[in-house]
């Protein structure tokens, strides 16, 4: 005789709460508004995440990436140009607009890698020297103070340069170009610092004068790139103040370098 199929019954069925009762419990002890607000917040977080990723992607693919499009060869040539600008004679202006963003092909184009690395190198060198000579008690605070002093001087210089460009009728020069041009001095100052450390400050005066002179020439010739760009857009207006403006900017650069040497 075939045994009948008997449906088994779970002995723990009494624990299972029916869905109706579950909803009633939620209504009694929970707050549906909380669920709604939680879902709204999660949606907003999802929207923010999408906007964030699109912003980051657009930022890294914007024109700012071209200021970091450098390679080893460019860096070496640019450092040579910074420390010995007399070697590169002739006109430094860019013949073609496309060459502005071709760092690997034209060393006269502007970048942000060298100024940034120069700034950090200078700050660390100063801190290292001060810590070795036991001139400071708290290295970390000194490091941060040095960094902020450099940034402040650079910011003031960029603002003054921008005002000068506006006074001379150049409104279209970009802040990024000015930041790049004016902050190459950190590479020169870092080199000066290392030289003084190696030579125990014997030739400090001569080295300082040479570095400041190199900076002046570099800025004088580099600022013409920004001035030339404006002249290309406005060919009718003859900018007779071009050498004057470049000279003033180079003097400003020397002044800021001297301030940094005094402050640091």
Partner 1 sequence: MQPLKNPFGIIDPNEKPKQYQNNPFDIQNEELNETIKLGDNVVYQEEKQLLFDQSKQQPLETVEDISLLEDLDITSPLLIKSRIMSVLFFQKCDSEYLEDPDLSGPLLIVVSLGLLPLFTGRVHFNFIYGIGVWGWLLLYFLMNFMIQQQGKQIEFYKILSYLGYGLSQIVILSILSLFKELNNSFGYALAITCAIWSTASVSKTFDTILGLQHRRFLIAYPLFLFYCTFVIITIF
Task: Tell me which residues touch partner 1 (CB under 8 A).
Answer: 1-9, 56-57, 60-61, 64-65, 67-73, 75, 113, 116-117, 120-121, 124, 127-128, 131-132, 139-141, 143-144
CA atoms of 184 and 180, how far apart (whole Å): 7
Quick one: 104 or 204, whose CB is closer to partner 1? 104
CA atoms of 85 and 191, how far apart (whole Å): 15
Closest approach, Cβ 177 to partner 1, in A, equals: 16
State the DSSP code for 108.
T
Quick one: 70 or 261, whose CB is closer to partner 1? 70
Quick one: 74 or 218, whose CB is closer to partner 1? 74
Closest approach, Cβ 71 to partner 1, in A, equals: 4
φ and ψ of 52, to 5 deg: -60, -45
Quick one: 38 or 144, whose CB is closer to partner 1? 144
Closest approach, Cβ 73 to partner 1, in A, equals: 7
Closest approach, Cβ 123 to partner 1, in A, equals: 9
Quick one: 194 or 258, whose CB is closer to partner 1? 194
Closest approach, Cβ 13 to partner 1, in A, equals: 11
Closest approach, Cβ 96 to partner 1, in A, equals: 20
**Furthest C-alpha separation in the chain:** 117
Q: In this structure, what token pair is assigned to residue 105?
A: 């092909």
Closest approach, Cβ 12 to partner 1, in A, equals: 13
Among residues 106, 119, 120, the alpha carbon closest in space to that of 78 is found at 106
CA atoms of 33 and 39, how far apart (whole Å): 10
Please list, residue by residue across 234-258, b when 16 or more beta carbons sit within 10 angstroms of its beta carbon and e when fewer do: eeeeebebbeebbebbbebbbebbe
Contacts of 106 (CB under 8 A, 6+ apart): 94, 99
Quick one: 142 or 241, whose CB is closer to partner 1? 142
Among residues 90, 234, 237, 115, the alpha carbon closest in space to that of 179 is found at 115
Q: Up-side HSE of residue 96: CA atoms within 13 Å toward CB?
A: 7
Quick one: 125 or 226, whose CB is closer to partner 1? 125
Whether the CB-CB separation of 215 and 253 falls below 8 Å is answered with yes
């Amino acid at each position: 005789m075939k045994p009948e199929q008997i449906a088994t019954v779970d002995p723990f069925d009494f624990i299972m709460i029916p869905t109706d009762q579950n909803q009633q419990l939620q209504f009694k002890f929970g707050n549906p508004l909380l669920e709604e607000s939680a879902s709204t917040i999660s949606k907003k977080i999802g929207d923010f995440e999408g906007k964030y990723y699109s912003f980051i992607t657009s930022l890294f693919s914007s024109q700012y990436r071209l200021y970091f499009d450098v390679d080893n060869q460019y860096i070496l040539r640019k450092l040579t140009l910074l420390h010995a600008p007399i070697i590169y004679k002739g006109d430094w202006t860019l013949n073609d607009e496309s060459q502005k963003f071709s760092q690997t092909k034209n060393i006269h184009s502007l970048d942000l890698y060298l100024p940034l690395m120069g700034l950090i190198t200078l700050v660390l060198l100063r801190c290292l020297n001060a810590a070795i000579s036991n001139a400071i008690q708290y290295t970390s605070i000194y490091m941060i103070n040095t960094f902020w002093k450099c940034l402040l001087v650079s910011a003031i210089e960029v603002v003054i340069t921008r005002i000068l460009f506006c006074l001379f009728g150049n409104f279209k020069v970009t802040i990024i170009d000015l930041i790049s041009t004016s902050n190459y001095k950190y590479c020169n100052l870092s080199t000066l610092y290392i030289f003084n450390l190696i030579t125990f400050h014997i030739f400090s005066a001569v080295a300082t004068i040479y570095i400041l002179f190199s900076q002046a020439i570099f800025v004088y010739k580099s600022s013409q790139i920004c001035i030339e760009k404006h002249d290309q857009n406005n060919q009718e207006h003859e900018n007779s103040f071009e050498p004057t403006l470049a000279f003033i900017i180079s003097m400003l650069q020397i002044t800021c370098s001297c301030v940094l040497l005094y402050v640091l």
